[in-house]
């Protein structure tokens, strides 16, 4: 019988726990934090307090649903970073406490590597090497994945993440947080060619999304001077045009990365991979370029502990444990840990 591992994720605003046995994820319990909605974004201090309130029940539920007891556990895994310091601290401290109490090893996991390894939870799994576009509220990266442990970031945003661009644009239009899913919904019934926005060009395979946010703000300000009801009257077309623009920025770089590396196994991960415009554009690109495309279940795209558990399983097999002195890292590059 293979290892049984309890994994904890608390890097941002999701408190999550998962139990994995012999590489099979048994459950994935997630407590989302509604407290941030009225502030239009994640408030770090409130996030860490909510993690403290949720973590015991989330872990208990994962253990209970697994049908196993704590004495069956062979290791405890946790997200060391990157993420919000106060949020990470809750998960790290809790994992340390359990490891000490149960006398079992600790496994530190890099959150960004875990997003990539989420592709190994369910079939079909991608073949190495593959490229993974990780897109969420906090990250926008193109990762070249050679195997479970060797990964290299070959392109990334130099400022805002693409999810942040969706959410901030939504906020400027007066939509609630997080605005990404709403823009997606409205975009489905709008004209994507109604409006045009400037492309910020970055060297190599890097991205920049802060310029589009500012351009979008001035665009709306100018249009509203002419017609105060501009947003209300054109909401669907604005959303469709903006979404098309952001998706094109992502896919242009991904296509370049594939051409440069010669890799045609392409995966996407992170909350923004739920975007229907991105999914359909990716499918079109796959036909045009003969790509094999991999998109995980939505549950494993957004922040979750199942991906931490999957990454921990591979580390357990290599006996890569960490000491009880481990501390969280708010900034943690891929390849560290």
Q: Which listed range, 191-199, 218-226, 269-277, 306-314, lies at the site for ligand KG4 (CB under 6 A)?
A: 269-277
Q: Which residues of 208-225 are buried (b: 16+ CB within 10 A; e: fewer)?
A: bbebbbeebeebbeebee
Compute the Cα dihedral for 330, 139, 299, 39 and give only its sign.
positive
Min dist CB 71 to ligand KG4, Å, is: 33
- φ, ψ for residue 212 (rounded to 5)? -70, -35
| DSSP 8-state class, residue 7 | E
* 20 Rama sector, left if φ>0, alpha if ψ -120 to 50, beta otherwise: beta
Q: How buried is residue 196: exposed, middle or buried, by Cβ count under 10 Å (0-12/13-18/19+)? A: exposed
Cβ proximity to Zn ion: between 136 and 140 the closer is 136
User: Between residue 164 and residue 183, which ones bind ligand KG4 under the rule CB under 6 A?
Assistant: 166-167, 178, 180-181
Under rule CB under 6 A, residue 275 binds ligand KG4: yes
Under rule CB under 5 A, residue 108 binds Zn ion: no
Under rule CB under 6 A, residue 312 binds ligand KG4: no
Number of residues that bind Zn ion (CB under 5 A): 2
Which ranges of the chain would DSSP assign to H, the alpha helix? 44-66, 85-102, 111-117, 162-172, 180-187, 210-226, 230-261, 276-289, 305-317
- Binding-site member from 7, 19, 274, 307 for ligand KG4 (CB under 6 A): 274
Min dist CB 178 to ligand KG4, Å, is: 4
Partner whose footprint covers residue 184, from ligand KG4, Zn ion, none (CB < 5 to 8 Å by kind)? ligand KG4
User: Between residue 303 and residue 332, which ones bind Zn ion under the rule CB under 5 A?
Assistant: 303
Look up residue 16 and give its two tokens: 């999550």
- Binding-site member from 113, 160, 184, 206 for ligand KG4 (CB under 6 A): 184
Angle 96-135-89 from CA coordinates, rounded to 5°: 20
- Binding-site member from 303, 305, 316, 328 for ligand KG4 (CB under 6 A): 303
Partner whose footprint covers residue 58, from Zn ion, ligand KG4, none (CB < 5 to 8 Å by kind)? none
Please state, in angstroms and rounded to a whole number, the distance separating the CA atoms of residues 316 and 310.
Answer: 10
User: Between residue 119 and residue 148, which ones bind ligand KG4 under the rule CB under 6 A?
Assistant: 136-138
Min dist CB 9 to Zn ion, Å, is: 9
Q: How buried is residue 278: exposed, middle or buried, by Cβ count under 10 Å (0-12/13-18/19+)? A: buried
Partner whose footprint covers residue 91, from ligand KG4, Zn ion, none (CB < 5 to 8 Å by kind)? none
Cβ proximity to ligand KG4: between 44 and 129 the closer is 44
Which positions lie near ligand KG4, rule CB under 6 A? Answer: 12, 136-138, 163, 166-167, 178, 180-181, 184, 270-272, 274-275, 302-303
Which positions lie near Zn ion, rule CB under 5 A? Answer: 136, 303
């Amino acid at each position: 019988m293979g290892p049984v591992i309890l994994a904890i994720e608390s890097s941002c605003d999701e408190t999550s726990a998962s139990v994995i046995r012999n590489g099979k994820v048994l459950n994935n319990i997630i407590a989302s934090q509604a407290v941030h909605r009225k502030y239009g974004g994640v408030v770090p201090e409130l996030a860490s307090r909510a993690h403290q309130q949720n973590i015991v029940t989330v872990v208990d539920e994962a253990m209970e649903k697994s049908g196993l007891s704590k004495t069956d556990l062979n290791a405890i895994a946790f997200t060391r970073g990157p993420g919000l310091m106060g949020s990470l601290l809750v998960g790290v401290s809790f994992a340390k406490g359990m490891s000490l109490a149960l006398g079992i090893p600790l496994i530190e996991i890099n959150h960004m590597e875990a997003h990539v390894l989420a592709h190994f939870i369910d079939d079909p799994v991608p073949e190495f090497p593959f490229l993974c576009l990780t897109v969420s509220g906090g990250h926008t990266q193109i990762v070249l994945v050679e195997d479970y442990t060797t990964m290299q970031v070959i392109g990334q945003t130099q400022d805002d993440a693409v999810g942040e661009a969706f959410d901030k644009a939504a906020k400027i239009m007066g939509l609630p947080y997080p605005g990404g899913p709403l823009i997606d919904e409205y975009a489905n019934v709008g004209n994507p060619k109604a409006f045009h926005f400037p492309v910020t060009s970055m060297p190599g395979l890097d991205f920049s999304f802060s310029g589009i946010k500012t351009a979008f703000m001035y665009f709306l300000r100018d249009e509203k001077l002419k017609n105060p009801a501009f947003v209300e009257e054109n909401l669907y077309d604005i959303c469709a045009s903006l979404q098309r623009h952001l998706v094109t920025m992502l896919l242009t770089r991904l296509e370049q990365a594939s051409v440069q590396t010669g890799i045609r196994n392409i995966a996407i991960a992170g909350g923004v991979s739920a975007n229907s415009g991105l999914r359909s554009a990716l499918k079109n690109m796959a036909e045009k370029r003969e790509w094999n495309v991999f998109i995980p279940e939505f549950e494993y795209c957004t922040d979750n502990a199942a991906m931490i558990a999957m990454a921990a399983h591979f580390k357990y097999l290599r006996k890569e444990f960490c000491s009880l002195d481990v501390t969280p890292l708010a900034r943690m590059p891929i390849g560290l840990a």
